[in-house]
């Protein structure tokens, strides 16, 4: 590791975020602390507080990295025809859940300390993700207004999220052995079939 005075503010931030991701993957979110993050990168907790406001901030920054990776995959998928694009985006979401379960869970399990509001820069990040979905949903059906497009994007996301939760928690066996990819395909086929059909109604 480079000596601490060799790190710029940005490098220190990046190091800390990477340490959060490693620690959460190894030990779970519950056991994360600023002290452990500092220890892993060879800084004092006090030094970290120059770069992050608190543990919440550190977690949100790490989550933002996860969301950015997802956004990258979703942006890449956007070139396809709308139905394929939406299915590919949902597939990327499930792949994230399967392959980086701890990081994916951190996005959904973390709660702000003391009920502090989620900061605007973070909400902006999630808005970008939904915008990708909305864009494709809008391409499918011209007669739907913004409110309906907003709702459709969230309905699909919540549904895919449920499949991800049950898949990573190994609860699909209790449902009688069902494949999450088949559920994903069924959901998108039927939901979008009707949605697109309403365009010409």
Q: CA torsion sign, 6 to 10 to 13 to 19?
A: negative
Can you tell me which of 73, 100, 155, 168 binds a copy of itself, judged by CB under 8 A? 155
Q: Using CA atoms, how far apart are residues 81 and 83, in angstroms rounded to an integer?
A: 6
Helix axes 9-27, 55-77, angle to 10 degrees: 90
165 makes contact with a copy of itself (CB under 8 A): yes
Q: Using CA atoms, how far apart are residues 21 and 144, in angstroms rounded to an integer?
A: 40
Can you tell me which of 130, 135, 138, 139 binds a copy of itself, judged by CB under 8 A? 130
116 makes contact with a copy of itself (CB under 8 A): no
Can you tell me which of 162, 168, 199, 200 binds a copy of itself, judged by CB under 8 A? 162
CB of 67 to a copy of itself, least distance (A): 10
Output the CA–CA distances (angstroms, integers) from residue 191 to 58, 137, 156, in the order listed: 38, 11, 8
CB atoms within 10 A of CB 74: 23
Can you tell me which of 31, 98, 111, 199 binds a copy of itself, judged by CB under 8 A? 111
25 makes contact with a copy of itself (CB under 8 A): no
Structure tokens at 113: 């300390």
186 makes contact with a copy of itself (CB under 8 A): yes
CB of 57 or CB of 180, closer to a copy of itself: 180
CB of 79 or CB of 120, closer to a copy of itself: 120
Q: In the chain, what are the helix, strand and coil shares in percent, each to the nearest 5?
A: 75, 0, 25
CB of 56 to a copy of itself, least distance (A): 14
Can you tell me which of 29, 83, 95, 157 binds a copy of itself, judged by CB under 8 A? 157
């Amino acid at each position: 590791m480079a000596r601490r005075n060799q790190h710029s503010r940005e490098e220190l931030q990046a190091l800390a975020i990477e340490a959060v991701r490693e620690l959460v993957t190894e030990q779970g979110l519950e056991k994360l602390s600023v002290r452990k993050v500092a220890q892993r990168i060879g800084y004092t907790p006090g030094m970290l507080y120059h770069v992050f406001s608190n543990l919440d901030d550190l977690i949100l920054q790490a989550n933002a990295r996860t969301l950015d990776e997802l956004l990258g995959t979703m942006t890449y998928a956007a070139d396809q025809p709308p139905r394929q694009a939406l299915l590919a985006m949902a597939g990327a979401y499930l792949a994230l859940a399967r392959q980086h379960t701890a990081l994916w869970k951190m996005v959904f399990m973390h709660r702000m300390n003391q009920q502090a509001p989620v900061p605007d820069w973070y909400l902006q990040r999630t808005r970008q993700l939904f915008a990708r979905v909305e864009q494709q949903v809008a391409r499918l059906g011209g007669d739907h207004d913004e409110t309906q497009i907003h709702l459709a994007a969230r309905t699909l996301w919540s549904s895919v999220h449920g499949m991800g939760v049950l898949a990573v928690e190994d609860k699909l066996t209790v449902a009688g052995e069902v494949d999450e990819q088949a559920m994903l395909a069924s959901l998108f086929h039927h939901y979008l079939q009707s949605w697109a059909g309403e365009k010409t109604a």
